[in-house]
Amino acid sequence: MGYQYDRENIFAKILRKEIPSETVHETKHSLAFKDINPAAPTHILIIPKGSYVNFDHFGSDASEEEIIDFNQTVTTVIQQAKLDPNSNGEGYRLITNTGLNGVQEVPHLHFHLLGGRNMGTMVVR
């Protein structure tokens, strides 16, 4: 059973430039933009341009070129935001919510890059 991609989801509309977003970084296969409702001083969403619902969909169906591009984009955005401890950044949290239990709102794969404050406990116990 394959994933059905909803072409009318908000991030698909952002990719088609039907609704505006604040781009942070863009490559051939990936886009990073600011979250409209930030949960931290830095809150950037990083998405592949391809039609993938979540990370396991992406990992199964994306090309090597897309996977490499996406991984490189995540790293670049972390470094551009000066969050990487290697450059004296104070660290970050990278999250990808998936499906019902992951409480995913938008059905297009996205990584949340959060930084600029202590993120506290990872999940409610």
Per CB under 6 A, residues contacting ligand 5GP are: 10, 19, 21, 33-37, 97, 104-106
Which residue's CB is nearer to ligand 5GP, number 4 or number 86? Answer: 4
Q: Look up residue 49 and give its amino acid.
A: K
Supply the minimum distance, in Å, between the C-beta of residue 10 and ligand 5GP. Answer: 5
Q: Look up residue 65 and give its amino acid.
A: E
The secondary element (H helix, E strand) that includes residue 28 is none
Q: How far apart are CA 125 and CA 113, in angstroms?
A: 22
Supply the minimum distance, in Å, between the C-beta of residue 88 and ligand 5GP. Answer: 27
Q: How far apart are CA 24 and CA 21, in angstroms?
A: 9
Radius of gyration of the chain (CA): 14
Supply the minimum distance, in Å, between the C-beta of residue 2 and ligand 5GP. Answer: 20
Q: Catalytic residue at 110? A: yes
For 33, phi then psi, to 5°, come to: -150, 160
- List residues with catalytic annotation: 110
